[in-house]
């Protein structure tokens, strides 16, 4: 049985992927400093899967601790989620973002090389395409110049990983460029529970619906889109988690080193108002909202062409918009205070 290290595995996407890994008969080791998460997510993953995982509360920048974990656990492959992810905050705290996201990845890859682990799935983002590329984004488009330090860290890490792959014929890397993950496991037991005010749309909508926040702020109503709000490609987090299993399975089968990027999105652009009204329709909850000025760094519209992941990884999103809304609501209404319940 292959043993997979999941960095940032207590977080939103990491916990759903840890669950998918356990269900697919991988052994799971999680390293997370719990900066933006709670260990309760992992307790629930164990309950849902009926299997146990190994957890280390540690920072991936702590090289000595990471080496000890690799030596003790004999890791076959790594799925690397650990990082900071708030676009707006990254503009205010660029050094924290470069340090955590870039330095953290450098330390991780150094330790992988020292310990002979050569298979890595990296959490990249659609933001790496930047402003100059036109949607639908396709992997043959060049890395762009992302508008925020957050996006720049993702583009930098992809560039670093490509260079590492050129220098090392053994290393196998998949850079997964996520679009906008939303939703929760269908059980309603795990979901997105960010610390503080949510930066992403869906947890904000869900927290307004449950009464935890008064009103949703929609940033910008004057974009050149059908209703003036931004268009994004929303993908169910469970489909995204399965994309990691498919990428990992593909990487483990490769006989030669490689570094490939894959878009993971549905290819369907939806506006912020589509999401708000969709949530209201499917959950029968009312969402109060108001328009605020545009947020710096937000692009009007982007969505994915995910043909490459479909053709090479045999990955296909299966969940509908209704699933995304209902699963978000099941999670939030079962857990109004998130994991603190």
Which parts of this chain interact with ligand NAD (CB under 6 A)? 7-8, 10-14, 31-37, 59-61, 81-83, 85, 100, 104, 123, 125, 178, 180-181, 200
Is residue 266 packed enough to be buried (19+ CB in 10 Å), middle (13-18) or exposed (0-12)?
buried
- Looking up tokens 């973002």 gives 97
Closer by beta carbon to ligand NAD, 11 or else 338: 11
Closer by beta carbon to ligand NAD, 170 or else 200: 200
CB of 60 to ligand NAD, least distance (A): 4
CB of 256 to ligand NAD, least distance (A): 27
Q: Of the residues 150, 178, 223, 234, which is catalytic?
A: 150
Closer by beta carbon to ligand NAD, 65 or else 186: 65
Separation CA 42–CA 60 (nearest Å): 18
Separation CA 218–CA 91 (nearest Å): 19
Nearest 5 degrees, angle CA 298-CA 161-CA 315?
A: 70
CB of 214 to ligand NAD, least distance (A): 23
Closer by beta carbon to ligand NAD, 123 or else 305: 123
CB of 107 to ligand NAD, least distance (A): 9
281: left (phi > 0), else alpha (psi -120 to 50), else beta?
alpha
Please say whether the beta carbons of 67 and 115 come within 8 A.
Answer: yes
Separation CA 11–CA 194 (nearest Å): 8
Active site residue 129: no
Question: Catalytic residues, which ones?
Answer: 150
């Amino acid at each position: 049985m292959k043993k997979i290290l999941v960095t940032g595995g207590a977080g939103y996407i990491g916990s759903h992927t840890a669950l998918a890994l356990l269900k697919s008969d991988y052994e799971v080791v999680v390293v997370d400093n719990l900066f933006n998460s709670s260990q309760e997510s992992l307790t629930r993953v164990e309950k849902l899967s009926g299997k146990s995982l190994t957890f280390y509360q540690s920072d991936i920048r702590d090289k000595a601790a990471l080496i000890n974990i690799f030596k003790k656990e004999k890791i076959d492959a790594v799925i690397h989620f650990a990082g900071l992810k708030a676009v707006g905050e990254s503009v205010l705290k660029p050094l924290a973002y470069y340090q955590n996201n870039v330095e953290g990845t450098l330390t991780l890859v150094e330790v992988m090389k020292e310990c002979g682990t050569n298979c890595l799935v990296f959490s990249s983002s659609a933001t790496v395409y930047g402003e100059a590329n036109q949607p639908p984004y396709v992997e043959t488009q060049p890395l762009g110049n992302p508008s925020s330090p957050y996006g720049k860290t993702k583009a930098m890490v992809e560039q670093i990983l490509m260079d590492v792959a050129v220098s090392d014929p053994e290393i196998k890397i998949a850079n997964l460029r996520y679009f906008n993950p939303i939703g929760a496991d269908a059980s309603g037991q795990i979901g997105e529970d960010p610390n503080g005010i949510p930066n992403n749309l869906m947890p904000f909508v869900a927290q307004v619906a449950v009464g935890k926040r008064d009103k949703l702020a929609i940033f910008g109503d004057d974009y050149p889109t059908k209703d003036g709000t931004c268009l994004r490609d929303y993908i169910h987090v469970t489909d995204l988690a399965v994309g990691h299993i498919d990428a990992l399975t593909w990487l483990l089968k490769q006989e030669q080193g490689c570094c490939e990027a894959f878009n993971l999105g549905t290819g369907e652009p939806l506006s912020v108002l589509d999401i708000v009204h969709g949530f209201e329709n499917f959950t029968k909850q009312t969402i109060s909202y108001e328009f605020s000025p545009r947020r710096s760094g937000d692009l009007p519209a982007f969505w994915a062409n995910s043909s490459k992941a479909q053709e090479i990884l045999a990955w296909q999103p299966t969940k509908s918009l209704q699933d995304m809304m209902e699963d978000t609501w099941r999670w939030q209404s079962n857990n109004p205070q998130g994991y603190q319940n």
